[in-house]
Structure 1
Amino acid sequence: MAATSRGRGRPFLSLLPFLVMAVVAVLELLEGTGTGYLPLLSLGPAFASLSGGVRRAAAVGALALLLCVGLAAHNDIFGTRPNTLTFISITGVTAAGMLASAIRVRNERELADIRTVAEAAQRVLLRPVPRRVGPIHAAVRYISAAARARIGGDLYEVVTTPKGVRVIVGDVQGKGLGAVETAAVVLGAFREAAYDEEDLHGVAARLEKALTRHLTSEQFVTAVLAELGSADRILLMNFGHPPPLLLHADGRIEAAEPPDVAPPLGMASLAGQCPPVYEVPFAPRDQLLFYTDGVIEARDGRGEFYPLAERLEVLRAADPEKALDDLQADLLRHVGAPITDDAAMLLLRRRHH
């Protein structure tokens, strides 16, 4: 939405210098000598610095000087002291506008480079999940609150291992580059541990070890680990993360709550032991939705949270990608504005044998 507003405002900014100078010229012609409107022509090159480059600012400044000459000659004040001061004023504002345009253009190019790097980092850090992996269909959606960066502290991954399909969805405490770096550490450790370790406890221990080496403050990561084998069940470990929501084929909805509350990753010393692995049924055509708190904490204009569990009926579409598109669209309609926190959603649908 913000991008649309900027797009609509760009033509107006382009026309604004000419509109201002036209109004000044008309007033000067109507009012005549001594009215003092000519100095306002300097507004033209001043507004020109808001859009376009250095050449455009110079061209608008030259046009303002030509108008000043023509109007001064028309009103028989050309060469007078006030008219000379007006020339100097327009010239000075034009020079300042050219400098401002040069700085703005340079900053815009630097921002474009930063966005390109951020998008490349996102493709490496948050790789697209395979649409079909083992016995499931998978789909993912990520919405970043930092629209210009397009990347934040939420993380997800789906990998196929000899033990089955293993999944992580998590949320790094904090924001900015520090959160992105921590997310990269977690995902790197998970991608290795998911293949090497015999069970989810081993995977969790590797993640905790990696974070212990990396974290230097009170930062932590909430996360859910999952493992899906050939049986009609899925194993879960929850580290202080919102519980996944299970949508059964018959329409029943339940939260896959852990048996005990556990601290996030990076704070294992507070618990003294790893949280238990628990299992939930996951039969053919069942769906399991993992999400981050940016989804359930998204508020509408009245301050009401998004009622995710009440909206899962939109996931009934035959294609999981379409189902998650519908859920994302419903979330954005609820908010009605850019979201204020990163939000990730990962949908697993058990294929029918």
Structure 2
Amino acid sequence: MRPRVRMPGKHLAWRPGHVLVAIPLALIVVIIILELVVPREVRLTPLLVTAPAITASFAGPRLTALIGGLAILAHLLLDLLDELIGTLIMRAELLALIVVTAFLVVFSFVRDRHKQELIRVRSVSEAAQHALLRPLPRRLGPLNVASVYLAAEEEAQIGGDLYAAVRVDSGARLVIGDVRGKGMPSVSDAALFLGAFREAARRRRTLPEVVGHLEESVAAEYAERLAQCPEVIENFITATVLEVPDERPVLLMINCGHPPPLLVRPGEVHFLGVSRPTVPLGLGELSHLACQVAMFPFEAGDTLLLYTDGVVEARDPEGVFYPLAERVAKWSGNGPESLLEHVRADLLSYVGGRLGDDAAMVALQRAPS
């Protein structure tokens, strides 16, 4: 189903900005009254141009034209009372008011048109994000799951950071990754990778076979792209692929050049590093036989935080990297959603409100028995 978007200017529904129309109307009335009481030598009619100028700051072209028309009528009325109809000064002031009003109406029209285009783009972007980064289920067997995506650009919705989760017979398989590069090519690579993961996670028996399938898919795509355009910069994807069995209190992990996950227990926070990380995907140097599977305890009540490098490479105004483990150690809540909300709020506060790179996080907790 296509998303329904309500376009500005298409409906006459009341908007909060319409309340502000009282300001230019009151301004016109005040100017008329002052013009009638001040000495004739003092001309206040040129100030009428402020009415449509103020209206254009919050209203559309129709309302701006209406207020501009009222200002022009007020100017003509005052000129008639002052017996200035047909004089040179009256013509100059009235022409200036008409020209400025016309310019403001055109400006409001162009601005509203751009606003409509932005709404369409954001609607498409949101639909693409939901298609690419499907919302993770809140429950996967014994796992409680939560996720969050933080875009570096205010209007951006999707990028090269990715995550996915698949339920299999024996447990759950998850991935979090980061595509090298930015823009639409990274989005295309993320879509390819996620499609390959969802297929491999269900069809391949072991975790190394899943990673081997991902490497084959990504490397084949990059090789085809390089053959078509030799100037293309070599790309790769870092990823952490996990399998969490239902019946065993452990997790299996293959880290392909990605930042290590963070394990959180009461009174304990530490990274799950491996002695020999696997190389990133897409370089053509990886096979399922070379994948090193690491096993870690993951008991009831344990929480695992997966993240992309946009989190740990975020800097404060002084250029200091975000100390993830130190900040997570201060978390006193419970549940994966609470953890992500804590990190998200603290991270944005640390960097001053805006990230320099996209960031994605997934938290999963093995529910108590």
**If the TM-score is normalised by the length of the shorter chain, which range does it land in?**
0.7 to 0.9
Of 54, 60, 69, 1:62 maps to 69
Q: Identify the residue that residue 244 of structure 1 maps to in structure 2.
A: 261
The Cα offsets for residues 68-109 of structure 1, whole Å up to 9 and x where unpaired, read as 223434544332112112222222222222222222222212
**CA offsets 1:156-211 (integer angstroms, 9 cap, x no match):** 11111135311100112223332222211111110001011122222222222222
Match for residue 347 of structure 2?
331
Return closer, same or farther for 1:99/1:275 CA change in 2, 3 Å cut-off. same
- Cα distance change, pair 18–186 in 1 and its aligned pair in 2 (3 A): farther
Q: Within 5 Å, which residues of 2 pair with 1:27-176? A: 38-176=45-183
* In structure 1, C-alpha distance between the alignment counterparts of 2:237 and 2:73, rounded to whole Å: 63
Partner of 2:7: none
Q: CA deviation at 1:238?
A: 1.5
Query: Contact 1:315–1:324 (CA<8 Å) still a contact in 2?
Result: no
1:306 equivalent to 2:322? Answer yes
| 1:272-311 CA distance string (max 9 Å, x none) | 9844222222222222110112222233344433221012
Partner amino acid, structure 2, of 1:289: L
Q: Which runs of 5+ in 2 are unaligned?
A: 1-15, 226-231
Match in the other structure for 1:4: none
The answer on whether the counterparts of 2:311 and 2:359 sit within 8 Å (CA) in structure 1 is: yes
Aligned residues: 344
Which AA in structure 1 matches 2:135? P
Cα pair distance change 1:314/1:202, threshold 3 Å: same
Task: Tell me how far 1:232 sits from its aligned partner.
Answer: 2.5
Greater shift, 84-93 or 191-200, is seen at 84-93
Q: Summarize the Cα distance change of 1:163–1:202 in structure 2 as closer, same or farther, 3 Å threshold.
A: farther
- What letter is aligned with 2:301? R
For 1:352, the equivalent position in structure 2 comes to 368
Partner-residue secondary structure (3-state), 1:268: coil
Identity percentage of aligned residues:
40
Distance of 1:23 and 1:301 partners within structure 2: 48
TM-score by length of 1: 0.84
* Residues 268, 329 of structure 2: 8 Å contact kept: no
* 1:65 Cα offset (Å): 0.7
TM-score when scaled to structure 2? 0.81
Q: Distance in 2 between matches of 1:94 and 1:18?
A: 15
Please tell me whether the aligned partners of residues 262 and 271 of structure 1 are also in contact (alpha carbons under 8 angstroms): no
Q: 1:25 to 1:170 in 2, by over 3 A?
A: farther
